[in-house]
Structure 1
Amino acid sequence: MASSVPNGHGAATATGEGGTPPPPPPSSSSSLVFLGTGCSSAVPNARCLIQPPDPPCAVCSQSLSVAPELNPNYRCNTSLLIDYCQDENAHKYILIDVGKTFREQVLRWFVHHKIPCVDSIILTHEHADAILGLDDVRIVQSFSPTNDIEPTPIYLSQFAMDSIAQKFPYLVRKKLKEGEEVRRVAQLDWRVIESDLQIPFVTSGLEFVPLPVIHGEDYICLGFLFGRKSKVAYISDVSWFPPSTEHAISKSGGGQLDLLILDCLSRTLDAVKRICPKRALLIGMTDEMDHHKDNETLEEWSRREGIDVQLARDGSRVYIDLSGIFLSSYDGILLASTPSVVIFGGYESDRKWPEDAGECAGGGAGGGFLMKAVVGSGRQGRGTYLQNDLPNHFRIFSSPPDSVSVSPPLTDSSSSSPRSPAERREASSSPPMAASVPNGHSVAGEGGTPAPPPSSSSLVFLGTGCSSAVPNARCLIQPPDPPCAVCSQSLSVPPELNPNYRCNTSLLIDYCQDEVTHKYILIDVGKTFREQIILTHEHADAILGLDDVRIVQPFSPTNDIEPTPIYLSQFAMNSIAQKFPYLVRKKLKEGEEVRRVAQLDWRVIESDLQKPFVTSGLEFVPLPVIHGEDYVCLGFLFGRKSKVAYISDVSRFPPSTEHAISKSGEGQLDLLILDCLYRTNMLCADILSPCEQTGSHNVHLCWDQTLDAVKRICPKRALLIGMTHEMDHHKDNETLEEWSRREGIDVQLARDGLRVYIDL
C-alpha cells in the first residue's frame, strides 16, 4: 500500500496478512536509521554525470530520473542514527559519524522519520566523510543567539581529537578570545575514548565497545559493538581486522552477532563468513554496485551460506529492541512476521527467509528532498532567456541549466520598465511550455526563443544561501508555531523548482574567450558543493567542499592528473593547510599509500586592489572587505566589456574598495552581486536572533545595509545572495521591484541555478 509522505511521493510499505497495513511498532521500540550507505564520494558519482563514460554508468544515470528518496542507489556518506528507547517513552538519538552529506541527510531522513534532535555523537575516525558535517551539527541543536545551550557530547579517539582541533578550532575552543564576537556555532562536549576493546563507554544510557580495525595499512579506525541482548556491530571503514577485534564479534569468539553492519568495498563476504552473524547489512558502496542486481546475487549467496546478507540503503529503518529483536514490519522495513515479501524502495520481490529471520533492510521510501541538479563544466543551459534593457551583450537566463526554473526577471524584452506585481503574477499564472530535460522534470520556457550563441560567457549561481543554507533544518525537525513558510515550502516543492532552496554561496563563471573555448572558474567550494577555484575566505561555507573537487577532475587511480589552480589569500592558505593537509602536501610520506584525492595547485594572491591576477584568461582584481570587525574577506572584480563585482561576505567596505566599484569612483558596474543576509521580521521572533529581528548582523550586510550600499555604489543592476530562510524569493522580489522603480537601479534576489549570460 502507498502511504502519503511529506513531499507528495508514495512510499511503499509492507502489508500484513490479508493485505492490511501492519501496525506501527510500539513507542518503546528502538531502531537503527541508515542516514547514509555510500562511500566517501557518495553516489551518484558526479563525474559520471558531468563527464559521462560510454556506455553511461547505469547506477549514476538512474539519479537523473529517480528522486533520491525512491532510489536505493542514491547513497550519502555512511552514517547511522540509533534511536534508543531505554524505557516506555524516553528516546535518545545517538549519531555515528557526521560526514560531508550530513545536512542533506538531516533534511531528507530526520524529517521523514521525525527525529527531533541528536543527543550524542560518536566518530569512527577523522576522514572527511566522517567529520566534515560537524559545522552543521548546530542545525540539530536548540537555538540560542549567544550559544548558551547544553553542548552535545561527542566521543572520539585522541588522534581524531587532535586532527579536529586543527580543522575546526572554533568548535573546540571553550572561550572566545578577548574582543572576539559571538558566532552561532555547534556547541560540543568533546570526550576522548580509548581505542581499546576492554574500555567501553556509555552515552545516552547505551554501552558501546570500541572495535579498532585497520583502514589502510597504517590507520586505525573505530567500529562499535552495542546492544544488551541483541548484539549489533557497526564497522564502516575497514581493510582488515586485528585478531582481537574479529574474535570479539565472531560466533566462534565473543558470541554470535544479531546484526553486523559492515563496509563493502572488498573481501566483505569472506569476513561475513568468518564472523558468522545472524544477518548482515552492507554499507559504504560505490557506484559500481547496483542495489537490486547485487541484492539478487546476495540472495543466492545467503541461501547457500546460511547467513542473511543484503545491501542496506539510505533511509531504511530497522526496528530492533536493543534488549531483543522486535519482530514486526513497518514503513517499508520487513521483519520476521512477514517473511514472504521484501520491499526495496517501492519494488517488491518474492523472497523466502529462514523462520528465525529478523529484520531485513527494506527501502523505507520516504518524504524528503530531491538533490540539487548537478551543475558542472560543459553543460549548456536549456530553456529561454529574456533580454533586459542592458546592452545587447547582457542577458538574464529565465530558466537555469538543465532542470531548474526561476521566477521572471524584473524586466522583459517588450518593455523598458519593470512589470507591476499584478502583471508578474498574471504572467506567472499562464501555463508555460514544457521543455524536456535530462532528469525528467519540466521547466518553464518561452516557445521559439533562440538559445544564446555558444560563444556566450555566463555566470551560474550554484548557491545563494547563507552558511546554514535554506531550508534551515531546525525549522523542519523542531518546527516553530506558526511554521516557517520558506522552509516548509521545501517539503512539497523539489529544490530545482523552489527559489527558496539555497545552497552555500558559490558562483561558476563560464568564460568564453574566443568563439569555441570555454573555461570554467569556480568561486568558493562550500559545504553544499556536491549539490552544486577562487576562494573568498576560509570559513566552512567557502572551503569545506574542497575534498569533493576530485569529482569534477578527470579520474586517475594514481592521481597523475593536471592539478587545478586554486587562488586564495595567505591567511586562507595557512588555515587550509591545517584543515586539509592531504590536499596541500605535494609528496607522500615514505610507505604511505596513494589516496584518490583532489589534485590542486595552490597559488597565493595578495589582498590588494593594485595586484590583480589572471586565471583561465580572465583578470580578477581582489576586493578586500570586512567580514566582521577583525576579519578580511575577498570579493572580486572581473570582466573587460562588462564589469562584474562579486562580494559574498561583507559587513563593511573599506573606502578604497568602495571607490573601486562605485559609479562615482572607478566607473559604474554592469552587475553587482552582493551579500544580503536577512531583513527585519518580527513575525518569526521566536526563531530569530535579536540581530535578525532588527535586521542587522555583526559579520554580514542585511536588507537595509545592502540597499544603502547598492545606492552608494550605483551599479546598473544588482543581484543579492547569501540569504537566510527569513527571506522569501517571490515576496521580497516584489518589494525590490518597487524599490528598483523608485531608485532607478534594478535589484533582485538571485536564486540557485540562475544563469546570467554576459559578454565578459
Structure 2
Amino acid sequence: MGFWASAHCEASAETHASQEPDRQSKIIFMGSGSSTGTPRPYCVYPENLQLPKCRTSQLALSTVPELNKNYRGNPALLIQTAQHKNIQIDVGKTFRENVVRWYPRHNVNSLDAVILTHGHADAFFGLDDLRGLQAPGRTVEPLKVFVNECTLDAVRTTFPYLALPPPADATVKRWVASLTFPLIKPFEKFEAAGLDLVPVPLVHGEDCICLGFVFGERERVVYLSDVSRVPPETENYLLGLGQIDVLIVDALFKERKHPTHFSLPESLEFIRKVKPKRAFLIGMSDDIEHEAVSTMLAQLTDVDVELSYDGLAIDVNL
C-alpha cells in the first residue's frame, strides 16, 4: 500500500480542422501566491507598510493588480483546451476576485469542470462562488468538481448545502451552485471536459496528502502546487514519464524551510532532478519579490525556471 493510502488526507481532428483553424491550448495562472496572498493584510496597515518585511506587499500595492506581478491570489490554474473547454484547478479564497479580473481578459465564456487539489481554504473556499457562473432561475447541468475522498469530506463539512441534496420538504428555495463531485484516485486517469489527467499524491505537511496533476498527450504538463515532500511512488512515476514540457511547482519562501511547502532551494533541487524543458514556480509568499528573484533565476544556466504571476498565459499543445 502506497504512502497516500495511509495518510488521513488524500469531433475528429480532420473534421475539426476543416471547420476552423487550429487553436492552441493554454494554461493560465489564475493565482500564483500563497494562502495569505500578496499583499499581506498585515502590511496594509499604514504603520506597517514601511517595515522591511512588508516591502513586497508595498510593491504589490503600488500599481493596479492587472499590471503588478507581485499582486498574487491563491494558487490556481485554468486550462483552456483547443476544443474551447475551460477547466479550473482549485477555487480558493481569492477565486471570485481572480475570475472577475482574468476571465474577461482571456475570453473565458464558460467553466466546464473544476478540479480540487486538497481540502484547505486556499483550494476550495471559493466553491460557493461557482453559483455566480451559473444563470439563476434556469435548470443547468451540474458542474463536475473532481475531488478525492478526503477533500470531499472537507467540502461536506464546510459546504453541506453544496455537497448534499436539499431536503425534499424544504420550505425556502435557495440559489446555490449546482455541482456534482466525482471521485478521483491517485494514479488513476480521469477525464474532465474532454481532457485526460492523472492525479499524483504529494505530501503537503506530513499529515496531509495533496494531489498534483499530469496532463497533455503532445506536450506534457505537470502541476504540483502544494508540496513539502514528493513520495517515492510519485517521484518514480514522474521520472518514468519521459520528457516533461512544463513543470509547475510550489515555492513558498526564498530560502527558509517550511513544514508544508517547498521553498526555492527545494524547488530548484526537484526541477534539476526531473529536468523539464521549462519550469514555473507557484505559491510564492511575499518573501519572494518578483523582479529581484526573477533576475536571480535568469542567471541559472542549468535550468529554465521562471516565477509565474497572476494572469500569465502559456501556449501548450495538449
TM-score by length of 2: 0.85
> Does residue 519 of the first structure (1) align with residue 100 of the second (2)?
no
Residue 140 of structure 2 corresponds to residue 561 of structure 1: yes
Partner of 2:30: 462
Q: How far apart are the structure 2 equivalents of 1:758 and 1:495?
A: 25
- Residue 208 of structure 2 corresponds to 631
Match for 1:677: what amino acid?
L
Cα deviation digits, residues 433-491 of structure 1 (max 9, x gap): xxxxxxxxxxxxxxxxxxxx661110011000000000101122151534622111133
Q: Does residue 738 in structure 1 map to residue 299 in structure 2?
A: yes
Instruction: Give the secondary-structure state (helix, strand or coil) at the position aligned to 1:603.
Output: coil
Q: Evaluate the alpha carbon distance shift between residue 483 and residue 633 of structure 1 in structure 2; reply closer, same or farther with a 3 A threshold.
A: closer
Secondary structure at the counterpart of residue 150 of structure 2: helix
Where in structure 2 are the equivalents of 1:244-283 lying within 5 Å?
A: none
Matched, 1:491 2:61: yes
Tell me, what secondary structure is at the counterpart of 1:518?
coil
Q: Letter of the aligned partner of 1:539 in structure 2?
A: H
Give 2:7's aligned residue. Answer: none
- Give the Cα separation in 2 of the matches to 1:535 and 1:701: 19
Shift of residue 564, structure 1, vs aligned partner: 0.4
Provide the C-alpha distance between the structure 1 equivalents of 2:128 and 2:158, rounded to a whole number of angstroms: 10
**2:125 alignment counterpart:** 544
2:308 matches 1:750: yes
Residues 672 and 719 in structure 1, CA contact (< 8 A), matched pair in contact too:
yes
Once the two structures are superposed, what CA deviation does each residue of 1:13-57 show, in whole Å capped at 9, x if it has no partner? xxxxxxxxxxxxxxxxxxxxxxxxxxxxxxxxxxxxxxxxxxxxx
Residue 556 of structure 1 aligns with an amino acid whose one-letter code is P
CA distance in 2, matches of 1:521, 1:720: 20
Which blocks of at least 5 consecutive residues in structure 1 are unaligned? 1-452, 681-694
2:199 aligns with 622
Equivalences for residues 648-663 of structure 1 within 5 A: 648-662=225-239
- Provide Cα deviations, 1:681-711, integer angstroms capped at 9, x if missing partner: xxxxxxxxxxxxxx10000000111100111
Match of 1:697 among 211, 233, 258: 258
For 2:53 and 2:244, the matched residues in 1 are separated by 40
Shift of 1:616: 1.0
Cα shift at 1:492:
2.3
SS of the residue 1:659 aligns to:
helix
Structure 1 SS opposite 2:181: strand
What CA deviation, in whole Å up to 9, does each residue of 1:212-253 have, x standing for no partner? xxxxxxxxxxxxxxxxxxxxxxxxxxxxxxxxxxxxxxxxxx
1:351-500 correspondence runs (5 A)? 455-477=23-45, 478-479=47-48, 481-482=51-52, 484-500=54-70
Asked whether the equivalents of residues 60 and 69 of structure 2 are also in contact (C-alpha less than 8 Å), the reply is: no
The one-letter code matched in structure 2 to 1:509 is I
The 5-angstrom pairing of residues 583-598 of structure 1 reads 583-598=162-177
1:574 and 2:127 are equivalent in the alignment? no
What secondary structure, in the 3-state scheme, does the structure 2 residue paired with 1:696 have?
A: coil
Q: Deviations over 1:598-624 (max 9, x none)?
A: 110110111x21x11011111110110
Distance of 1:528 and 1:483 partners within structure 2:
22
Instruction: Indicate conservation of the 8 Å contact 2:53/2:287, yes or no.
Output: no
For residues 170 and 272 of structure 2, the distance between their equivalents in structure 1, rounded to whole angstroms, comes to 59
- Is contact 1:588-1:594 (8 Å) kept? no
Which consecutive unaligned segments of at least 5 residues does structure 2 have?
1-20, 99-113
Instruction: Supply the distance in 2 between the matched residues of 1:650 and 1:504 (Cα, whole angstroms).
Output: 15
1:589, CA displacement in angstroms? 4.1
What secondary structure does 1:484 align onto?
helix
- Secondary structure at the aligned position of 1:598 is classed as coil
Q: Determine the C-alpha separation between the residues in 2 that align with 1:511 and 1:655.
A: 31
Shift in CA distance, 503/635, structure 1 to aligned 2, threshold 3 Å: same
Larger helix share, 1 or 2: 2
Kept in 2, the 8 Å contact 1:661–1:668? The answer is no
Among 219, 240, 252, the alignment partner of 1:642 is 219
Indicate the percent of aligned positions where both proteins have the same amino acid.
Answer: 41
What's the Cα RMSD here? 1.4
* Structure (1 or 2) with the larger CA radius of gyration: 1
Of 269, 279, 282, 1:708 maps to 269
Higher relative contact order (CA 8 A, sep 6+): 2
1:568–1:603 CA contact under 8 A, matched in 2:
yes
TM-score by length of 1: 0.36
Aligned residue for 2:299, secondary structure, equals helix
Code of the residue aligned with 1:511 in structure 2: it is T
- 2:278 maps to a residue whose letter is R
- Aligned partner of 2:8 in structure 1 is none
Structure 2: distance between partners of 1:577 and 1:484: 37
| 1:408 matched residue in structure 2 | none
Q: Alpha-carbon deviations, 1:298-317, whole Å to 9, x = none?
A: xxxxxxxxxxxxxxxxxxxx
